[in-house]
Structure 1
């Protein structure tokens, strides 16, 4: 169906009215009324709408109205002929006239004389300059956020620290670069503006200005959607300073000057809330480390005076008196005695009280594994007198933990075959801290039964006495040995709670063994008995940052063991020695490079004079990965590993954080090298290379390790194509 013509014409009316000026509108109204009156008098039908309002009127309303007005005038340009109806309201409109009064007189205003004194004063006054625009430098915080700081870094020297702090809390930055709701962006802009003002006050800028603007709200010229962006211009103004500082009763402490310096705030210093927090912690630490176990510090208060541009700090302190260490008492003396607790403490009676030593004693008690909970409470036994400190005892309250445990494991490995292990132990069988353990192993390649006595904190902190007796039957890749042995050691070693930069151990061992090189094929070798006595010592320098997962530092361990061996009526003396070194370097936040080397030798005996179990071997998880345990080195014509008298090993690996599972998973590509020589110095005749990829899963007690190694120069008769190793902690 076609469109309605009346509706098309009617649509001209609003278009016409919208285009008319006021003059044109009045002319058009007059002409319309005249037309209406004319048609009404003659009785003719009214003109059609398109005749009253032609297309030219819609296209240019003002010109059309002017033409109609000119048409209504006479040819001589006289008065417009009125065509209004007699009853039209416009016919009775009165004329409006206004006579100008001829006698109106306006007085001339008085002339104001210049004030000569004020004029001279203004002439001598210095010229007042308006504020200059402060040059700003832009810093992009995110795709949606820009901050302008004064270009002169001396105006706001804390700029970099301030910016890093703001980045960590900004709500706009969380939006990223995607399209966002403008209202949401504006709300976050207000939130970030409040954050900036709070941060500026933290740094002491109480008169700072933060000017906010949002750009990019209009669509682009190409019609693209707008990408709104927020900008903050920061004008810090003058920084306030610390005014009066009131520390309450600190002046009553004997060494109040040193304690006052620990606060680190003086009147006139730039005002900073961070310095107040740091000052409180510094003072608290100084009090705790200087003999004040009962000191108390109340919450600080800052009173800001804007007229002085200063803040007065009040931090009430009650020192509570200075003390020295007294006795240590146990609530379970038969379990862990007072004497034993005093032995493992790192202080003596009479030493100035230090809170860190009190906390260290608590950690040492927890490290015994014999308690489930422990509290250490200072107790005054003698008050201070003048300059003489008082005495404070430490009351130790402990809850006993379960000390007996039974453990077992069943497993299979390519190196060990099937194996079943079981043990029983009581960690306080001989109080204090005397452990007794009975263990047994039944497996394809190893059978063992043994008993172990161990006393922790023996005659001193972190000192360990161990006596171990066992009987075993072991068949490894290289050795078939039946052994009975007793071994004792006195050690000072690192542990997970107390890693030491220097540790050591000394000990002795006596064993009787009946053994031979393991026969893989061919004629079995005859067994040979050995009676061996050994003294040994080990020392380690450790600068690494972790026992199980180091990322920096190095370790060096030296081992020496002079031995005497009696077999078939003859005695042989020789010296076993070994040097291990490893280094760790963190390249960036997600990668650590680790390297290791090992050098070992046996001096003073021929290879056939040394029992097969005492020779040097390589291969396995902590040696050359990709090869079985003891599988690297020279072999006989029957294919049996003979071991050697010297060793060189090298390992290099990269520990790469993948970011998976919140950074718990890392990949470790590695390459290992090892060579075993029959001589006392390496000849590199038998060099084996292995490479592979490892996986680490970090836990609270250290990384779980899985390494998959491939032998690069594999012997098809003896070496597997792939070997898998599983363990706890890094390989080295």
Structure 2
């Protein structure tokens, strides 16, 4: 009986299922009709290292070798693609008479077919490179620009140099950039002619440039505002009416508007029907299209560590309180959940207000206030805090802050219950060249702080806190997949006696933002019960390698440091070291972080390990 007759005799409701089962069994039990094609690739002929490297990097035969080929036809197809691709690589280096020949075994591509390639051996693929002479630039002519304008350009090409085509594109980019900077927004290369002389092995370059009109900036027309004051937006424009167009000022204006955090879309342009081909100076209105974000926002965040418990943070905010980008944010935090008793969970309510562009450009006015009830192993604290300050952006990288603070706190530690009332004048300077605040891949950040305090209530007359924190990031492979990140922190408190320093102002080390693998605040001076006392100085360092594939990351790290009961770090006391590995899941709002740390030079009081869960990188 045939299989088809067997199926036919089955009841109708079972026929589809039985057909599917027999179909699967057929493919499981049928031997493979093809064998993977294996091969190795060898380049011959080129002695120029940078050319050879580019050929290898551009070759699919080389780069895709780990992907199996099922048929010999696939190998031939891949080789033919390489022949075309690598010919273009030769030309990109100025070798216009060069040839690329591909051999599979002893047969060239022109003489080979899929039937002549056996499937049961490892094939040798030879790519024979014959560069030939390297062509040189000869005549370079630019039409449409005044000779005096050309003389001011540092041309990226010159007669006698290798005729690399990308250098012609560099020349065009230079011309258009310089035209833009001189007030010509409609400059364009209308014609490009590259003429090759195969007898002289030279290339002539001819560019025809249209400079268009020189543009003066007219009236600023603002569209799309709903709650933001148009007069305030106009005041932020970094140019005066009648100035010549400058692309940098346009870019700076858009960056300044984005920094207000009020707009989701910003478009700056001239009108669509502007006379782009005019040859005289014209005045054009500048049109600014804006789209506002929702004014009010809410959010929440969660952190957890096995030795400091959980933290829940919620906040509410307003992005445009009075119509000029004023921001208000109120944050409530519950922490040490699962560590403290329920009624002793740490509670903080914090409010912050920011008035941008206060009194002058790039200067913000800040108001902060908070109420806190905290219990740590080192101290318990009830406090009210307030501050007024200014933040000034001196350059895109350099900023400074100055504020006046007032704080009244009741602190209980191993010295008993004390009340402190302090006035402070914290000053800070920051130089930040990081490419991203939440997940940097390159750049550095340095912050130095000086915070003198005057004690009005409590022991002593006052104290001064000095601090320096540096962070650095290096993209090892230049593709974002391996970031080497480092952090260094040092601090010192100048005071008559340690007892005159409020416990919350002292230095502590250990924990997720410090030395991973150790309990929170457990590195440094301890009392007889192994509770932290706080310290007068601190030194910490961290190094980690952030490896990333897609949305998944693995981060081996090492941290070290200590807190000292002397005004300056006493390196003779040594460091406590922690090491471990972290895991990251990258999302649109930042990486989710899980770090597992182990104490390297473990003390009897230390746990075997600690883990930390949070949002964002560790530093």
TM more than 0.5: yes
Alignment of 1:290-439 (within 5 A): 290-298=182-190, 300-302=192-194, 304=196, 313-325=205-217, 328-331=220-223, 335-337=227-229, 340-341=232-233, 344-347=236-239, 352-378=244-270, 391-409=283-301, 413-414=305-306, 417=309, 419-439=311-331
**5+ unaligned residues in a row in structure 2: which ranges?**
1-37, 113-117, 336-343
Question: Does residue 641 of the first structure (1) align with residue 532 of the second (2)?
Answer: yes
The Cα offsets for residues 440-488 of structure 1, whole Å up to 9 and x where unpaired, read as 3355532233432112344455533220122221112222111111112
Q: CA deviation at 1:433?
A: 1.0
Q: CA deviation at 1:539?
A: 1.6
The Cα offsets for residues 201-234 of structure 1, whole Å up to 9 and x where unpaired, read as 444544434445442579xxxx995433333434
Give the counterpart of 2:364 among 464, 468, 483: 464
Alignment of 1:250-265 (within 5 A): 250-251=145-146, 256-258=149-151, 261=153, 264-265=156-157
Q: Secondary structure at the match of 1:228?
A: strand
Question: Does residue 229 of the first structure (1) align with residue 124 of the second (2)?
Answer: yes
8 Å CA contact 2:72–2:119 kept in 1: the answer is no
Distance 2:385 2:497 in 1: 24
Partner of 1:599: 490
Distance 1:461 1:698, change over 3 A: farther
Question: Does residue 451 of the first structure (1) align with residue 351 of the second (2)?
Answer: yes
Q: CA deviation at 1:244?
A: 5.9
8 Å CA contact 2:307–2:610 kept in 1: the answer is no
Q: CA deviation at 1:426?
A: 0.9
Q: CA deviation at 1:181?
A: 4.6
Q: Secondary structure at the match of 1:625?
A: coil
Distance 1:183 1:332 in 2: 59
Question: Does residue 674 of the first structure (1) align with residue 562 of the second (2)?
Answer: yes
8 Å CA contact 2:494–2:567 kept in 1: the answer is no
Q: CA deviation at 1:560?
A: 1.1
The Cα offsets for residues 60-89 of structure 1, whole Å up to 9 and x where unpaired, read as xxxxxxxxxxxxxxxxxxxxxxxxxxxxxx
The Cα offsets for residues 282-332 of structure 1, whole Å up to 9 and x where unpaired, read as 222222222211223335344556577665545432211323555544225
Distance 1:190 1:333, change over 3 A: closer
The Cα offsets for residues 360-395 of structure 1, whole Å up to 9 and x where unpaired, read as 3223323332122221013699999x9996555432
Partner of 2:375: 475
Distance 1:512 1:245, change over 3 A: same
Partner of 1:491: 391
Distance 1:728 1:294, change over 3 A: same
Alignment of 1:594-673 (within 5 A): 594-647=485-538, 649-655=539-545, 657=547, 661-662=549-550, 664-673=552-561
Give the counterpart of 1:574 among 449, 458, 463: 463
Distance 2:429 2:332 in 1: 30
Distance 1:553 1:436 in 2: 30
The Cα offsets for residues 498-543 of structure 1, whole Å up to 9 and x where unpaired, read as x9443321111001111212x7xxxxx7432221100011123345
Question: Does residue 707 of the first structure (1) align with residue 599 of the second (2)?
Answer: no
Q: Secondary structure at the match of 1:423?
A: strand
Partner of 1:20: none
8 Å CA contact 1:677–1:684 kept in 2: the answer is no
8 Å CA contact 1:243–1:311 kept in 2: the answer is yes
Give the counterpart of 2:418 among 521, 528, 538: 528
Distance 2:602 2:130 in 1: 71
Q: CA deviation at 1:429?
A: 0.7
Give the counterpart of 2:54 among 165, 171, 192: 165
**5+ unaligned residues in a row in structure 1: which ranges?**
1-141, 152-158, 520-524
Alignment of 1:29-68 (within 5 A): none
Equivalenced residues, count:
561
**What value does the CA root-mean-square deviation take over the aligned residues?**
4.1
Distance 2:158 2:601 in 1: 70
Q: Secondary structure at the match of 2:426?
A: strand
| Higher RCO, Cα 8 Å, sep 6+ | 2
What's the TM-score, normalizing by structure 1?
Answer: 0.66
Higher mean alpha-carbon deviation, 435-444 vs 528-537, is at: 435-444
